[in-house]
Structure 1
Amino acid sequence: MCNTGEAPRLALVVIDMVNTYDHEDAGLLIPSVRRVVPVLAELIGRAREADAPVIYANDSFGTWRSHHGELVDTALAGPHGDLVEPIRPDRGSLFVVKVRHSVFYETPLAYLLGQLGVGHVVLSGQVTEQCVLYSALDAHIRHLGVTVPKDAVAAIHPRLEAAALEMMERNMGARVTTAKQIDFARPAGDRC
């Protein structure tokens, strides 16, 4: 049956991809990130072409005086800048600094999404079994639609990633799909 009501606007949320990879699990995470970056770069490009909001939600690296430009510059100058360059924010990108796992926890993201008329988020980035999972739960309890492109999220532990994707789909009603199946020009509720 076709959705006859107005479908929610989509936004792409890029989680923690502006990263220095200077943390305990980086060695386990980087191979997954290398697989994800080309897919995510293409997904970001398609979102921008469709004029869908692209919102980076990123850890502050523990630097409380940091702003997004400083975070991007620090990550690009680090030993893994090649993982940041293809997906770096452009002038039209929005940026939310976070300090905990969820992109919603004590950030202005929910307010921003409301101002943009967004009712459905596409969660991408890292780490699937941590920040993506907790962000999906927080989106769900805020009555936002959630899509997770499984080839545009990176994980530390593949077994936990599989469990997290299943939890998002079963418990939170998330649509788990591939990046190529996401059409930013078509409203999220339009499945006809």
Structure 2
Amino acid sequence: MNTKNNDLHGNAPDSSPVALLIIDMINDLEFPGGDEFLEPAKRVAEAITTLKQRVKEQNIPVIYANDNFGRWRSDFNEVVEHVLNDGVRGHYLAQVLKPDKDDYFVLKPKNSAFYETSLDVLLTYLKVKHVILTGLSTDSCILFSANDAYMRDLTLSIPVDCVASIKPAHTHDALAYMKRVLQADTTPSNKIDLEALYQELESTH
């Protein structure tokens, strides 16, 4: 059975060998330790914002994968509005990384962006082979998502400047693990040649 409908109802692009995944950056940071996350999260948000602008110039899709903060009746727009308008610690993150209308999103109940979400279906639909993982936190949701991506034979970029944990050592250790075991490329975002990456993967598409 052909499961693909060629009409994406206004969402673009139709397919791409590369996708940018932004994990848990629309985040109120209103949890124990959230105050320690604020400064590293702001630095990461700025780097991801620049990277997002670059990937969109290459027509690479952007996918937000976000916790629903236990609000099982919420949707992603409600999460964005909450962080933007409820006077929470993470307001700046949503301000600089507010999703565009043509961005994709999934709400996740647990650490991995793949667990009990539609992400797997979406990546298959878009014919993605390589995911660029960014966001919070390196030693939890990034790590779990990277493991699941690797198990699906997706190749990985995890730019060192686009992920953060509460403690820098946690980020260092998690990145070292993902580089060694998952063959993740941890090149800083400003050194990633997106056009070359896209063309290389497209040639084997």
TM-score w.r.t. structure 2 length? 0.86
Map residues 6-45 of structure 1 onto 2, 5 A cutoff.
9-45=17-53
Is residue 93 from structure 1 mapped to residue 103 from structure 2 by the alignment? yes
**Paired residue for 1:178?**
188
Per-residue deviation at 1:32? 0.6
Indicate if the aligned counterparts of 1:104 and 1:135 stay in contact, CA closer than 8 A: yes
Structure 1 segments of 4 or more deviating over 6 A? none
Alpha-carbon distance change, 19 to 44 in structure 1, aligned in 2, over 3 angstroms: same
What is the aligned partner in structure 1 of residue 76 from structure 2? Answer: 68
| 1:9–1:187 Cα contact (<8 Å) kept | no
The 10-residue stretch of structure 1 (165-174 or 18-27) with the greater mean CA deviation from structure 2: 18-27
Q: Which amino acid aligns with 1:30?
A: L
Distance 1:105 1:181 in 2: 30
What's the offset of the Cα at 1:61? 1.2
Q: Is the 8 A contact 1:60 1:66 kept in 2?
A: yes
Normalized per residue, the structure richer in strand is 1
Per the TM alignment, residue 24 of structure 1 is displaced from its structure 2 partner at its CA by: 1.1
Give the corresponding residue for 1:165.
175
- Tell me: CA distance 1:137–1:188, structure 2 relative to 1, closer, same or farther (3 Å): farther
Residue range with higher mean Cα deviation, 152-161 or 109-118: 152-161
CA-based RMSD: 1.5
Does residue 162 of structure 2 align to residue 122 of structure 1?
A: no
Find the partner of 1:142 among 138, 152, 175: 152
Structure 1: segments with no counterpart, 5+ residues: 1-7
**2:162 corresponds to which of 142, 152, 159:** 152
Report percent identity of matched pairs.
38
- Indicate conservation of the 8 Å contact 2:42/2:92, yes or no: no
Range that drifts further, 74-83 or 129-138: 74-83
- Measured after TM superposition, the shift of residue 188 of structure 1 is 5.1
> Greater RCO between the two (CA within 8 Å, min separation 6)?
1
What is the Cα deviation at residue 38 of structure 1? 1.3
| TM-score, structure 1 as length reference | 0.91
When the two structures are aligned, how many residues end up with a matched partner?
A: 184
Q: CA deviation at 1:183?
A: 3.1
